[in-house]
Structure 1
Amino acid sequence: MSENGEKKFILERNLLHPRHEENMSKEELELYDRLKVFMRFQSKEEHEALVNGLVTELRIRKRIEELQEYRAAGCHTLAEAEQYAAGKKKRETEASSKKSKESGQLFATAKVGQRANRSVNRERGEGDSSPGSMVENQKAKGIGGQAASGNSACPVTTGQQGLKKSLPRWDISSLPGTDLLSLPEQQLCTQNRLFPAHYLKMKEVLIYQDIRNHPHPVKRSDAYRFFKIDHSVVDKVYDFLLRMGLIHEKESATH
């Protein structure tokens, strides 16, 4: 096709500013783009008829899927279906907003933790807090370095205290799942910087394993294997569930 022919083709098909694309959904636009390859083999009217037919079919299929979903949800009238759709959209929006807020809070906490680590390392004279530098610092110190300090536990204790003081209070009031926690559970999550959703999952798994293995208890070592997080946090959750009587440390008596 010559250059003039290409220009004429583009203008005839209104490809520079196609009006119908403004009213199309994402799926319809993807279908429209896939059908563009057939333009050169069809007249303008034939191609428009093809696109309109397939887009109409796509819309009908989508509407059928929506009606099937409404029926499965127990809707019997159009008003009930509209109410269900509005509620679903609201829930999706709220879930997306909570997820974004949770991600932002996690990122902010991580940044604070990094700054706190750098502050602690400066107190201990370790310089850079990157993983590689920390390893090199530990190698350079060795056993002799610890002995020279007189009390090897002192620098660690000081660092831990500095880190704890530097971190802000862990506020879970707006996080998903907080409303499902008792006051002691909320305190546990706040003190150990746990997301409520993560705690609830740990609680669910440990209780399930305790019931599943009855009369044998779920072991602390099993809990370490279930959750790939700091063992000290696992210990706190494990001990808390023991105190609440939700799991058992000793083998239950059988009759």
Structure 2
Amino acid sequence: MTVTHRKRTANDAEKDIAESGVKYHCDACSQNITDTVRIRCAICSDFDLCVRCFCSGAELGKHKSWHDYRVMEQHSFPIFDVDWGADEELLLIEGAETFGIGNWQDIADHVGSKTRDECEAHYLQVYVESETWPLPDMHKKFDMDPEAQAARKRQRLAQRVNRVPAPVKAQKPMTSQPANHEIAGYMPGRLEFETEYENEAEQIVKDMMFSEEDTSEEVDLKLMVLEIYNAKLNKRLERRKFVFDRGFLEYKKNQAAEKKRTPKERELLNSMRVFAQLQTSEDYDKFIDGLLKEMHLRERIAELQEFRANGITTLAAGQEYLREKVNRQTSLRHLIRDSSLNDRRNARSLPQRSNMDDSSSPRGSTALGKVVPPVRKPANPLNIQNAEGIHLLTVPEQALCSTLRIFPKSYMIIKEQLLKEHARLGGLKRRQARELIKIDVNKTGKIYDFFVEAGWIQNSDA
């Protein structure tokens, strides 16, 4: 079969309009010879000529006029159905092998002279529902004289020419996309996923064959491989059924429902998903509802205990307490934020003040000769009640970290370095502590004094 693509002209537009299926063109003159007798070369691969070019001895490429040939006619005589010719039966089988059973529109386009519904109905009736399945009834006979066959052939050609052109098919998506399906990778028409569980399972059996020469050990081995393959298929079906039953494909609905839950509820659901495979859908929903109810009860009990600890005995007073608590926490966050902003502003403006004082008088002194240090507002204490490692510090250490605005984790590192250096040297000077800890010297000095007062460090300067 030679299929060529060329620009259609007005002469053959009337003949080719609305025509689909396999087409044959003359390799010499490019004439459409689909519905006429054609000459096929028996030596050259896929080389066809029209009768006129064959009679004139056309030679093209490796084809020579003395090559053996075959006369190819349209086998319009019926073999299984009076409305289907042998050539149409052949095209139907070729289309099914090429595009797969079920893709009837592509198969109908391959046949060319039949519609989608006609191809599907004919295949089911002649091949699937045949009494001699899997083969069709091969003993049917149709008494048609040559004139009737010729008349039927002319009728088929007329129907093909006058056929209404099918609408242009939209380009199929190469992969499943959320715009076409509910979830990426899922093919709803086939109830399958692009990447299945154990997606490479078919690789172990695709080349397996049983022959009479196989020994009993080889047969047992192949049967074991098939058993393993069937086990993988069963697991694949179970997982697919699990996805369908739990409604995981409705991702928009699930996402909207998840957004309505609190962060604690989402954390609980994510930690309990592992038990979904061990329960049915109804049992799992009851299990989750029970856990959420328990969590809400525990939160309510803790809330009532907090009311009782603060001397609150009525629910109305408790609601007022919660509102004031939220306001206090909001004010505290704003205070910490404003304090950090002021610290950064003071840090940027401090060098400028020092330069101004130095330029106004020598060495930053006034007319009386006294040094006036720059005035700096002390920073607000840092709230470290919820900081990591707070439980490792004593109450005085917590107060020190809050005053110096140092987090407990950083303080523990500083403490460890100072105590190790003190143990190595047998004593530690203030200057050595400042050289060891590369932070603000004032903060290092206060930490050093605190350790000396606590008796952890022996002052070598004294």
TM normalised by structure 1 equals: 0.46
Which structure features the higher share of strand residues? 2
Q: Which structure is higher in RCO with an 8 Å CA cutoff and minimum separation 6?
A: 1
Which structure features the higher share of helix residues? 1
